[in-house]
Amino acid sequence: MHSLPDDRTARAKIRDEALRLFGERGPDAVTVRDIAAAAGVSPALVIRHYQSKDGLRQAVDEHVTAVFEAMLTRAVGTGDGDPLDQAALPTLAEAMAEFLPADSPIPSYLGRLLLAAGPVGTALFRRLHEVSKDALAALAQAGAADTGADPDVRAAFLLVNDLAVLILRPQLREVLGVDPLSGDGMQRWATETLSVYRTGLGGNTDPT
Amino acid sequence: MHSLPDDRTARAKIRDEALRLFGERGPDAVTVRDIAAAAGVSPALVIRHYQSKDGLRQAVDEHVTAVFEAMLTRAVGTGDGDPLDQAALPTLAEAMAEFLPADSPIPSYLGRLLLAAGPVGTALFRRLHEVSKDALAALAQAGAADTGADPDVRAAFLLVNDLAVLILRPQLREVLGVDPLSGDGMQRWATETLSVYRTGLGGNTDPT
DNA sequence: CACGATGATAAACAATTGTTCAGCGTGGTC
DNA sequence: GACCACGCTGAACAATTGTTTATCATCGTG
């Protein structure tokens, strides 16, 4: 990422197609020949640029992580204006919808990254848990929420609720009839989650 | 060797080892030779009994689905005593902890089944969503909860909160320092989720 | 004892996959 | 023109993997 002449043609295209295919089917189900064909190059060129398939996977990992990190800082950065409102917590999916094109392969790849065993996914998950804990603490300090008896678990609970939309996107789309990362789907999802976060599931919570 | 019921044959052992390995690494990362070695038999015998690796995978799918289905009916069956209390909803993980040994490979395999694209996982997810919807409706009818403005989405929300423990178990264990499917972990997780389900995240919910 | 039936195996086969290697075309420079 | 650096490729290689085939051992039974 330093001083290479230009990332312009074949090399970047290989990485982008790999990102897309990895996100769709998972790295194990994608062959070097698949990637080469999708990028319109020969399999040998893929290896020539990235040494190995695993090298390519690492390059995609780093690229996706970098994009996501930039997105994170921008997302929490914008929260400074009105630091804590209803939208301060479930911003992960919303940030993706805002900063990425609707057909971006990054959400899918991120979902796989978080699921796969490995240092990258683990670090990413831990990072997100920290962000979640910080957000919860900020909400609590502002009196907009309570950290609960077990702040670590509560933050993890909030986090996985957000990640579920990434990880189970195909299944949710199948069952709900709408892509949970689309505008409409996010609206419906956010409404319900915020409702629960605000007042719980409802019902006769207090016998007044 | 011979005293046990006729389920500890080589055939069953192959299936059980396949279930375990598939759950640990995913079917694509497990070779027929791996399974054969784990079961103490030859690779040829694996094929002889199940025709193909995919046939074995289907057999494991059916076995896991059957076990899970039995678990589901027993779990909702026990709910008849005191039909709806605090424990009526997030029973999925608890049912597993109750009906399965602590080191059972079934939760992991189920998690993968729900994530993988394919008819079995899709059907399973749809089935669970129905169960979740029914449970929510029952809670609502008893006045213990509200179906919300969007019952389908609310039921899906509750479902994925439960599934997250299955799907993200390694990551949660890593971050929280406790297996969320162990007794201790489930206790902590259930406490927080029920707290949120009951009253929301807390804080100054109304600006009096 | 012979003898199938049963259950299991070793060895080979064919296809796939990651990777290497020798070389080809093209464009800039002397 | 000669040359050479560079981006790229086609074909081959080696390892892995799912699967087949031909064979072996064992055991209850005539």
For A32, what's the count of Cα atoms within 13 Å in the CB-facing half-sphere?
Answer: 15
Q: What is the pLDDT of residue A99?
A: 92
3 state DSSP class of B203: coil
Among candidates A24, A186, A29, which has minimal Cα distance to A112? Answer: A24
**Candidates A26, A176, A205; nearest CB to B152:** A176
Question: What are the phi and psi torsion angles at B109 (to 5°)?
Answer: -65, -40
**For B199, which residue in chain A has the nearest alpha carbon?**
A200
The counts of H helices and E strands in chain B are 10, 0
Q: How far apart are CA B157 and CA B101, in angstroms?
A: 28
Q: Does B121 touch chain A (CB under 8 A)?
A: yes
Place of tokens 């040829």: B44
**Candidates B126, B192, B200; nearest CB to A198:** B200
Selected residue of A114, A166, A171 to mutate for chain B interface (largest B Cβ count, 10 A): A171
Is B172 in contact with B180 (CB distance < 8 Å)? yes
C29 C1' – A42 CA distance, angstroms? 29
Q: What is the pLDDT of residue A192?
A: 94
Q: How many CB pairs under 8 A join A and B?
A: 161
CB atoms closer than 10 angstroms to residue A117: 12
Q: Does B198 touch chain A (CB under 8 A)?
A: yes
Spans in chain A with pLDDT lower than 70 = 1-8, 77-90, 203-208
Q: What is the pLDDT of residue A77?
A: 66
Question: Over the Cα atoms of chain B, what is R_g?
Answer: 20
Is A26 in contact with A47 (CB distance < 8 Å)? no
* pLDDT digit string (tens) for chain B, length 208 residues: 333 434 578 999 999 999 999 999 999 999 999 999 999 999 999 999 999 999 999 999 999 999 999 998 887 766 554 444 544 555 788 889 889 999 999 999 999 999 999 999 999 999 999 999 999 998 888 888 899 999 999 999 999 999 999 999 999 999 999 999 999 999 999 999 999 999 998 766 544 4
Q: How far apart are CA A52 and CA A58, in angstroms?
A: 10
Model confidence, pTM: 0.90
Q: Does B205 touch chain A (CB under 8 A)?
A: yes
- Apex CA B73: angle with CA B69 and CA B77, to 5°? 165
The counts of H helices and E strands in chain A are 10, 0
CB-based contact A145 B121, cutoff 8 Å: no
Is A163 in contact with A115 (CB distance < 8 Å)? no
- A100's enclosing H/E stretch is none
Q: What is the pLDDT of residue B97?
A: 87
Q: Does A118 touch chain B (CB under 8 A)?
A: no
Place of tokens 């076990």: B67
